[in-house]
């Protein structure tokens, strides 16, 4: 049985406007913010990540500016001051078997290692992100062929690539750059491809297609910018891997060659006198460890800060 409801028409003068309610303003938790501002706010709460961030800044300043203030060059030899202990005769970190200042060589070696990390990051973004984005957006047979190329290159060991380059072109830092250029973008390509595969079916991509966006505009203006979170995290975690790769290759004699300075070269030179002059191995080992830990802790913090599921 239907029930009829009487609707009463109230006159307009039956209501009185009371204005904004002050108590309602207290319900606002915080001001609206952007995704990146919210990520920065979360990152600042992570003590290890922020400490690592400032440590990396100090390392950059020391390696690129510090050598000008040590009063020594990384290649100058003084056979009258060989194997000095730290603090002797104006050498804060001592000298090596050729009388070269260890602090100056350590700072120059850090410059070499950070250059390797920068080159690896440029390769990862410039090649890996673009390759993975194209593969994920194209899909189908094109995606299958492009990923098989990645799998084939993944099967070639980095050590084999460097050894072949050393035989053909000789050992140098540029050969390390070439080796990184051949294999270092593969992980980034896989990550960006997976992100693009999940994003290209979203509503904002369909809207961009409806207004006539080309494939390149869709990739460069909509898809890749929305994968910047995973890209930054992968990049931050990949830089220490590149630094360690350079140090390891230089340690075994396949990387930077004398008289150029590198943390791997310094550690290799100091191993022979570790029992008598342990600081020659200790300082470059500590530098490698601190740098790798700083980038790893920063990467972990960025991974948590850029996770949209943690946004409140």
The CATH number given to whatever domain includes residue 230 is 1.10.3720.10
Number of folded domains that form the chain: 1
Tell me: the pLDDT tens digits for 33-45?
677 787 888 888 8
In a domain, 39, yes or no: no
Contact (Cβ atoms closer than 8 angstroms) between residue 67 and residue 104: yes
Strand, helix or coil for residue 255: coil
DSSP string, 43-68: HHT-HHHHHHHHHHHHHHHHHHHGGG
Question: Averaged over 50-64, what is the pLDDT?
Answer: 91
Give pLDDT, residue 6.
53
The pLDDT tens digits for 100-136 are 888 888 888 888 888 888 888 888 888 888 999 999 9
Domain-embedded: residue 230: yes
| Predicted local confidence at residue 235, as pLDDT | 85
104 CB-near residues (< 8 Å, 6+ apart): 67, 70, 72, 73, 74, 261
Residue 20's pLDDT band (boundaries 50, 70, 90)?
A: low
Q: Which domain holds residue 172?
A: 46-60+92-307
pLDDT at 21 over 70: no
pLDDT at 2: 46
Rounded Cα distance between 187 and 150, Å, is 9
Residue 167 falls inside a structural domain = yes
Looking up tokens 């750059």 gives: 177
Q: How many CB atoms lie within 10 A of CB 200?
A: 19
CB 235 within 8 A of CB 301: no
CA separation for the pair 185, 130 (Å, rounded) = 10
In a domain? residue 301: yes
pLDDT band with cut points at 50, 70 and 90 for residue 312: low
Residue 145: per-residue pLDDT: 92
Backbone angles phi, psi at 49, to 5 degrees: -65, -45
Do 157 and 139 form a contact (C-beta atoms < 8 A)? no
Does residue 7 register a pLDDT over 60? no
- What's the pLDDT score for residue 31? 61
Which residues make beta-bridge pairs with 101?
Answer: 95
Residue 146 belongs to some domain of the structure: yes
**191 within some domain:** yes
Domain assignment of residue 2, yes or no:
no
What DSSP designation does 84 have? P
Q: To the nearest whole number, what is the mean pLDDT of the chain?
A: 81
């Amino acid at each position: 049985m239907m029930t009829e409801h009487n609707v009463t028409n109230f006159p307009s003068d039956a209501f009185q406007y009371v204005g904004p309610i002050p108590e309602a303003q207290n319900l606002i938790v915080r001001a609206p913010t952007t995704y990146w501002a919210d990520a920065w706010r979360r990152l600042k709460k992570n003590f290890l990540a922020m400490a690592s961030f400032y440590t990396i800044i100090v390392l950059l300043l020391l390696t690129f500016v510090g050598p000008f203030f040590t009063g020594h060059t990384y290649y100058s030899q003084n056979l009258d001051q060989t194997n000095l202990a730290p603090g002797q005769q104006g050498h804060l970190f001592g000298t090596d078997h050729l009388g070269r200042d260890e602090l100056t060589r350590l700072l120059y070696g850090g410059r070499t290692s950070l250059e390797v990390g920068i080159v690896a990051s440029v390769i990862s973004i410039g090649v890996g992100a673009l390759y993975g984005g194209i593969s994920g957006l194209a899909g189908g047979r094109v995606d299958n062929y492009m990923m098989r190329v990645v799998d084939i290159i993944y099967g070639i060991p980095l050590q084999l690539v460097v050894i072949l380059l050393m035989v053909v072109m000789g050992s140098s830092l540029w050969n390390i750059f070439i080796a990184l250029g051949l294999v270092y973008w593969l992980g980034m390509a896989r990550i960006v491809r997976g992100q693009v595969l999940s994003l290209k079916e979203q509503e904002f991509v369909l809207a961009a297609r409806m207004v006539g966006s080309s494939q390149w505009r869709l990739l460069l203006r909509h898809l890749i910018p929305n994968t910047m979170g995973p890209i930054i995290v992968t990049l931050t975690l990949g830089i220490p891997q590149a630094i360690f790769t350079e140090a390891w290759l230089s340690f075994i004699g396949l990387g930077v060659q004398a008289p150029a300075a590198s943390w791997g070269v310094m550690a290799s030179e100091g191993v022979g006198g570790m029992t008598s002059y342990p600081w020659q191995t200790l300082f470059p080992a500590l530098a490698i460890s601190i740098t790798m830990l700083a980038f790893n802790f920063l990467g972990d913090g960025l991974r948590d800060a850029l996770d949209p599921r943690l946004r409140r």
